[in-house]
Structure 1
């Protein structure tokens, strides 16, 4: 009797473990080999895409020296082999990124796109001599952190079996509203804002690229499903929706290329790369959430909100400090302890108002402040009786 009781309870325990902790019997477990391939493809994609920004920027500089710059509306870069090499590099990177999703989950692949920012910053520093100051480094870190937080907590995409299903989702009032909003903002930026502020505000051109990119990703999703099913024998090319998606992808990609070239030609590559990545990622997630209408928990919403605030902080820091040449050595001088007994002498800072005295041991601090305020100049003061005022 005791043996029978134990056998029944052990069987119940085993069944409980099977149902709670093991996958269903027909569930296909992920292949670690495939996931490793996806990881390698994602990293390779980031390297190619990050390098493509630098190669294209180099091509734009060469083309601009002998013709009309892209930032001024010229297309002389189309005759420059270096620019085409950068474009091919970007296509290879995007193809590798697209293929990576077939081997590994999006939660692993998408955040790795942030590696392209680091690659661009390093190569821009080495090849283009575009220095990224300490505030820019902090801004990059904030952008990457916020973007990863949003991507990791974004809802997964639902399984779709045909182009018609994607089209039905696209015809929902919410996504139609987003599409109308995106197209309206793009038209407004192109015809009213870009002619006057495009060459001074980095968010104009990159806003156009990001909005167009969010629409192109949704169309690429439908196009990818169509091609996958067609290769399996279920021809999706007979549907008009497939051809419409191809048209949307072509128009959006051409728009992205044009205005991304303008942004690269006018602004520092180390600034363009992270800002474009952040804006494109955020708008793509917004479009995906609206289109697929996935239910999110309060934790997901709160985390995404924190990630967005982090992104805004990072982009603001990148944009507002891009002209400064501040290094870690400059910041170290701010923490230097200067004792009151070191009465060696002072230097006078000439401003439009009252002169300000800087202790001779604080001269590095004054030099740092000069970088923050280029309108300030130094004048030596050899007299120890100078008025002792400090910053």
Structure 2
């Protein structure tokens, strides 16, 4: 009888462990302790959020300048391609995406993707400073909720199975469940691009962002595969001898170009405070769904419920950022409301009328 980490194993289990890697027991791992690879993925994802959040604002300013001098991106123009400020934002986004790309090589998608909420916070703060899009007390509360929700997911992210080659990821992608997801997502994307976007894209923010989010959920899976391929190649196991690697590169290139095109249209036609949170929620939900279908990381019931609570907290935070963006209200205003006269009194009626008129 063998004893490992406080658990008895017979010779059969020892042979399985030798062939398939360590057997993980949920009770033997502390959810509050991140592995070395998870810590690297966490650091890369946080730095990515800073760059990507900043790129939204820089690109928005570039789109404004380009729209004043040529055909706007929202109606199909590409004058932003000759605008240096837009390219500065694009370069910032590329740096952020490279960091995000690397993060997927070290940590599971269910940990990396929710940290995109930090880019919303960066974007909201910079929009307040640079674009005069006011961040009120509810917006600040929304930012705090995004951070709390992100930390909840980070601290309870599942351990990812050890992947030894790109072909292992390729075999996961060929599972019937994930192939069905890809087929359905592709059909919806084509329908939105061909039938819906030409008529409703400029009036409904969800059209362009749905295209970006669905395409993004497919690109993340290829990014994950490429990240693992690069990681293993640097470790001495060349993954570029497989044709599957180049297929993943092609998928990523097509998805990135599509996302950039429709995200530019959304940013040009709608307020950044609307685009960032809605895009985050849709992209995160679809990416986590695709990740769970493809990788099937083992999780306990407690982990799933905690991650669900964390994601719900992030959604509430992003909703506050979006729904209250037009309110001109501060902490002192809330203090005055708390000190309002008793309801029903004549002064209370005057006070309510005065406050409603001022907020409107």
TM-score of the superposed pair, with normalisation by structure 1: 0.73
Which structure has greater helix proportion?
Answer: 2
2:229 matched residue in structure 1 = 226
- Where do residues 68-83 of structure 1 align in structure 2 (5 Å cutoff)? 68-83=71-86
Q: Which residue among 160, 164, 168 is the counterpart of 1:161?
A: 164
Q: Which residue of 2 aligns with 1:202?
A: 205
Give yes or no for contact 1:57–1:265 (8 Å, CA) kept in 2.
yes
Structure 1 residues 274-316: Cα deviation after superposition (integer angstroms, max 9, x where no partner): 3323332222221111001223322223223334443444444
Whole-angstrom distance in 2 between the partners of 1:336 and 1:276:
38
Structure 1 counterpart of 2:123:
120
Tell me if the contact between 1:326 and 1:371 (Cα under 8 Å) persists in the aligned partners: no
The residue that corresponds to 2:215 in the other structure is 212
Instruction: Tell me the distance in 1 between the aligned counterparts of 2:170 and 2:112.
Output: 26
Correspondences of 1:32-43 after superposition (within 5 Å): 41-43=44-46
Q: Secondary structure at the match of 1:157?
A: coil
C-alpha distance in 2 between matches for 1:31 and 1:157: 12
Shift of 1:371: 5.9
Count of residues paired in the alignment: 337
Cα contact 2:137–2:331 (8 A) shared by 1: yes
Q: Is the 8 A contact 1:110 1:151 kept in 2?
A: no
Contact 2:53 2:122 in 1 (8 A): yes
Other structure's SS at 2:62 match: helix
- 1:258-297 mapped onto 2 (5 Å cutoff): 258-297=261-300
Residue in structure 2 matched with residue 182 of structure 1 by the alignment: 185
Judged with a 3 Å threshold, the aligned counterparts in structure 2 of structure 1 residues 156 and 213 are, in CA distance, closer, same or farther, namely: farther
- Greater relative contact order, per chain length (Cα 8 Å cut-off, separation 6+): 2
Q: Is the 8 A contact 2:63 2:86 kept in 1?
A: yes
Instruction: Supply the distance in 2 between the matched residues of 1:31 and 1:290 (Cα, whole angstroms).
Output: 23
For residues 33 and 332 of structure 1, the distance between their equivalents in structure 2, rounded to whole angstroms, comes to 46
Counterpart among 323, 333, 355 of residue 368 in structure 1: 355
Question: Unaligned 5+ residue runs, structure 1?
Answer: 1-14, 22-26, 347-356, 375-391
How far apart are the structure 1 equivalents of 2:249 and 2:279? 23
In the TM superposition, residue 76 of structure 1 has moved relative to its aligned partner by 0.9
Give the superposition deviation at 1:125: 0.7
Deviation at 1:110, TM superposition (A): 5.7
Partner SS for 1:338: coil
CA distance in 2, matches of 1:39, 1:312: 20
**Cα separation, 2, equivalents of 1:289 and 1:316:** 25
Correspondence 1:347-362 to 2 at 5 A:
358-359=349-350, 362=351
- Deviation, 1:38, is 6.6
| Shift of residue 170, structure 1, vs aligned partner | 0.8
Tell me, yes or no, if the aligned pair for 1:219 and 1:246 is still in contact at 8 Å.
yes
Q: Highest CA radius of gyration, 1 or 2? A: 1
Alpha-carbon deviations, 1:153-172, whole Å to 9, x = none?
44333222222221111111
Looking at structure 1, the residues matched to 205 and 140 of structure 2 have their Cα atoms a distance apart, in angstroms, of 18
Q: Structure 2: how far apart are the matches of 1:194 and 1:107? A: 30
TM-score by length of structure 2 reads 0.78
Q: Please show how residues 92-107 of structure 1 align to structure 2 within 5 Å.
A: 92-99=95-102
Task: Indicate the residue corresponding to 1:255 in structure 2.
Answer: 258
| 2: CA distance, partners of 1:317 / 1:193 | 28
